[in-house]
Amino acid sequence: MELDGPTHESREDYDAERTAMLNQMGYQVLRVGNEDCYDDLNSTVDHIWQTLENAKP
C-alpha cells in the first residue's frame, strides 16, 4: 500500500511506471490518499482489508 499525498503531485508518470514494474513482479499496489486516512480511517482500513480478501487464491 502506498499513501499518496502532496509529495506525489507531478510524479504521476513515475508512480505509474513503478506500479507497472511492481505488478510485473507479482505485487499489487494499492494507492490511498492521505486525506482518506485522515478523514475516514475506518473506511480506508475496510478498503485495504477487502483488497486483501479479494487477492486470496
Q: What is the pLDDT of residues 10-35, one digit of tens each?
A: 788 888 899 999 999 998 888 888 88
Domain total of the chain = 1
Range of the domain at 8: 2-54
- pLDDT for the residue numbered 8: 61
Q: What average pLDDT does the chain have?
A: 85
CB 23 within 8 A of CB 29: yes
Q: Comparing 38 with 9, which gets the higher pLDDT? A: 38
Half-sphere exposure of residue 27: CA atoms within 13 angstroms, side-chain side: 11
